[in-house]
Amino acid sequence: MEACNATLNPSLRSWVTTANLSGSDFPIQNLPFGRFRTNSNEPWRIGVAIGDMVLDLKAAELINHSDMNQILAMKKEDRVALRIAISNGLKEDAPVNHSAFEQSLFKQSSVEIGMPCEVGDYTDFYVGIHHATAVGKLFRPDNPLLPNYKWVPIGYHGRSSTLNVSGTSFPRPCGQVKVADTDAPIFQPSARLDFELEIGVVIGQGNKQGQPIAIEKAEDHVFGLTLFNDWSARDIQAWEYQPLGPFLSKNFASTLSPWIVTMEALSPFRQEFKRPDGEPQPLAYLSSEVNSLQGAFDVKLEVLIQTEAMRKAGLPFERLTYSNFTEAAYWTVAQMVTHHTINGCSLRSGDLFGSGTLSGPKPEQAGSLLELTQGGKQAITLSNGENRIFLQDGDSIALKGWCEKSGAVRIGFGECIATVMPAKAA
């Protein structure tokens, strides 16, 4: 770990000059992993973002394959060794000739960025307690949180086939909607389309079926974090979610940022995890000293919108809301991993967890329009005079995330962005 810590040294700089710019998401202390290709006829390559460039790891002779899921499955010590090799070749005073690295660099703007890995399974959790409370109040004012919430990291199985990388548009979903005071539902495009501000957790090494992952080992099975937008059709959801939970209201599209920020890069931004006074403490299998001391991650988050009218007028994105992973989450990444496997469920490299909507404690920190508009009762007025209750066709939503604190170099997650297109006829 001492060698790994050298890759996080705040004074470290890269000969890739854009990595040294103030505010860069991808300084040499970050080195997030993703996939790219120079044209649509070639296979995906494994890359690491550095400044405004991407380093082809195979071309730089750091690996001998192009299988990202093989990278995810590496043992922790091998993963750390690869990070050190990448950092050593990119740092300003690189001890070896870096011509091989120079020839393996591509402008991010000149290549196609893909999904960061092949996702076999996707589970969406519900760890955002402020979101769960706010939504619960809309439907159950006297009892917003169900009795199991503070004991069980709630989750449901999602649909990996409709996960899209940032930049991919999607059509408005259609489904059954039950209008109040009517006897039968109708079929129509969703009129209450919403975003959800989430963190994605990418699984590294898996586990065998029947072998739970102990809380002390849980983070060894996590490769890193991404930004994640789990789009939701609230009107379809309201009609279908009882008794078995979300279905068509969730499985039509989810958007993932293209870069996986590794656990190693996040280590300077760990925080204490503790429950407020009076809250029930996790059961023993969900509790460990390390998780209590540093199980939370200080990731700052924001959601921005650009409507079609704003785009045509040349107006930039504007902020809708902001939050923080630590403030929002009632359960940690390690607890999600352990609970998911405690019954013997196996995880595989590349599996994805969604955190659930990460709303902050203040009303203006809500991670969805459902909360920001009080269930659709209070419209949001944008700077150009437009109003929004839920999303309209042509609206683009961007998620951003970053970590920064005194004594460490700021790192970012890149963008997670998508545009809502009109519904398609059946």
Catalytic residues: 131
77: which 2 tokens?
């010590």
Question: How buried is 236 (Cβ within 10 angstroms: 0-12 exposed, 13-18 middle, 19+ buried)?
Answer: buried
Q: Tell me the chain's radius of gyration from C-alpha atoms.
A: 22
Query: Three-state SS for 149?
Result: coil
CA 189 to chain centroid, in Å, comes to: 27
Query: Three-state SS for 63?
Result: coil
**Matching residue, tokens 């001998």:** 64
Q: How far is CA 219 from CA 57, 215, 334, 338, 346, in A?
A: 24, 8, 6, 9, 15
Nearest-angstrom CA–CA distance, 273 and 258? 28
Query: Three-state SS for 49?
Result: strand
Residue 207: φ, ψ to 5° = -140, 155
152: which 2 tokens?
């069980």
- With CA atoms as reference, report the closest residue to 33 among 100, 98, 92, 79: 79
Q: Is the CB of residue 316 less than 8 Å from the CB of residue 354?
A: no
Query: Three-state SS for 72?
Result: helix
